[in-house]
Structure 1
Amino acid sequence: MVVTGAGTGIGRAVARRLLAAGASVTLVGRRAEALREAADAEGGERAQVHPADVSAEHGARSAVEAAVARFGAVDGLVNNAGLARFAPIEKADLADLEAMLGVNLLGPVHLIRAALPELRERQGAVVNVSSVGGALAMPGRSLYGATKAALNSLTRSLARELAPRVRVNAILPGPVDTPMYGDLGLDERATRDLVADMVEATPLGRFGTPDDIAGWVCNLLDPEASGWVTGALVAIDGGRSA
């Protein structure tokens, strides 16, 4: 298995569950220290650390090659690495849009292309970690939402294109308590107000946890649990999109 953004948050929770189930996992991300900490805590010899920038084609390719070299195969890919920058359209920095497109869309494209021969051989699965922001109107967050909407479209199209040998699905989390909310490009007060608004708009009245999402990701990877599921966009959002 290859899991991106695996040093913290949802990616680390996914890697933890996969390792606990006996899988071998290549943990990919930009920060080597966070990846090593996660691997040491969760996985031992079945956890491989591979620092890489998956928004670059060579970074994605190197992650897949490392997984194959260490474990002999890749039968699952979790595109979890993500970047969020929030701003009204007139104040948005278009450099942030380029960066979000790189991580949120090009990264999954590069990784799927690199892993495709392995995934076809193993009849594997891809799970893209998207966002309800790609399916809902998101004032003040339109550019972020647009990158996730593109990932949702990619998921559905590739599910048909790569069937029947490779399944492709996406999880659409609502607000989840991860370090991302400390790095949105907003000041402290704006972040606090945003969090309060999100909680108020969520029927279950709280942020999700990484473990709330990780179980669904792992189910979609599992051919016994989800072998007849492809092209699904699964909202795990506390009712946010209801």
Structure 2
Amino acid sequence: MVTEEGDGLAGRTVIVTGAGTGMGRAVSELLLARGAHVAAVGRREAALRELAAGAWGERVEVIAADITRPGAAEDVVAAATARFGTVHGLVNNAGLARFAPLEAASDDDFERLLATNVRAPAALIRAALPHLRREQGAVVNVSSVGGVLAMPGRSFYGAGKAALNSLTRSLARELAPEVRVNAVLPGPVDTPMWDDMGLDAEGSDALRSGLLAATPLGRFGRPGEVAGWVCGLLDPHFSGWITGALIPVDGGRTS
């Protein structure tokens, strides 16, 4: 958001996980368009290199990493600060979705959900905290409406996102006033994650149809529609008095 004080993101450094595709890519591109530096984190280096090959490449640091690996959070922050000197913002966007009824859900999937959607964001916040405190920075966690809605057949996923919501609100109080912590809760958004849910084509089609029918605005969201809210919550000029917020960006799904 550009205000009379100028763009509050210009010159700031933001770590974005899951930056290669989908919402993370949209967030990264909007940050770069607004003058920020982006430490782009993801498992697929080729997609990150595509981002760095664009018009803003000199302001992109590519960090190919599995954020669930022990020590990954510290490595990511070290790489970002080695390139840009500090960290002003963190977007915990990387996520994993696995849907199954309780009888068919695997313990391994549950562990992977928790590792990606809860433990890794917490580890990254902790690793970046000295910089975020010094810079009066901000964290935005990309959660889901699944963390606030009852979702039969998706209970493990919803439990992980509910934990991320609780982490957001608790850390907003714990880290105030130096660091703001908020979350956006997207509804169904068209991203490549739909191809990585462990569902067959019939199951994926049925899921999409059900979500569409339950969304009052009658369509899936676009990554850029979520990115605008993420960047707004990072911008100290626009949202400097907002912390602990869980903001649905969901086409009315939670209304």
Shorter-chain TM-score: what band? over 0.9
1:191 matched to 2:204? The reply is yes
Compared CA separation, residues 125 and 57, structure 1 to 2 (3 A): farther
Give the whole-Å Cα distance in 2 for the aligned partners of 1:42 and 1:218: 19
Residue matched to 1:148:
161
Residue matched to 1:108:
121
The CA deviation at 1:15 is: 0.3
The CA deviation at 1:39 is: 2.0
Residue matched to 1:129:
142
Which among 45, 52, 68 is matched to residue 58 of structure 2? 45
Residue matched to 1:13:
26
The CA deviation at 1:93 is: 1.0
RMSD of aligned residue pairs (Cα, Å): 0.7
Segments of 5+ residues of structure 2 without an aligned counterpart are 1-13
Segments of 5+ residues of structure 1 without an aligned counterpart are none
Give the counterpart letter for 2:180 in structure 1. Answer: R
Spell out, residue by residue over 1:50-90, the C-alpha distance to the aligned partner (whole angstroms, 9 max, x if none): 01111124111111111100001100000000000000000
Percentage identity across paired residues of the two chains: 65
Give the counterpart letter for 2:19 in structure 1. Answer: A
Work out whether residues 51 and 57 of structure 2, in 8 Å CA contact, stay in contact via their aligned partners in 1.
no
Residue matched to 1:75:
88
TM-score between the two structures when normalised by the length of structure 1: 0.99
1:34 matched to 2:47? The reply is yes
Give the whole-Å Cα distance in 1 for the aligned partners of 2:169 and 2:62: 30
Which among 154, 166, 191 is matched to residue 178 of structure 1? 191
The CA deviation at 1:41 is: 2.8
Work out whether residues 23 and 223 of structure 2, in 8 Å CA contact, stay in contact via their aligned partners in 1.
yes
Tell which deviates more after alignment, 47-56 or 147-156: 47-56
The CA deviation at 1:223 is: 0.4
Number of residue equivalences? 242
The CA deviation at 1:42 is: 5.5
The CA deviation at 1:222 is: 0.2
Residue matched to 2:5:
none
Give the whole-Å Cα distance in 2 for the aligned partners of 1:216 and 1:62: 28
Residue matched to 2:11:
none
Work out whether residues 8 and 38 of structure 1, in 8 Å CA contact, stay in contact via their aligned partners in 2.
no
Which among 55, 74, 78 is matched to residue 61 of structure 1? 74
Give the whole-Å Cα distance in 1 for the aligned partners of 2:198 and 2:38: 31
Q: Which runs of 4+ in 1 moved over 6 A?
A: none
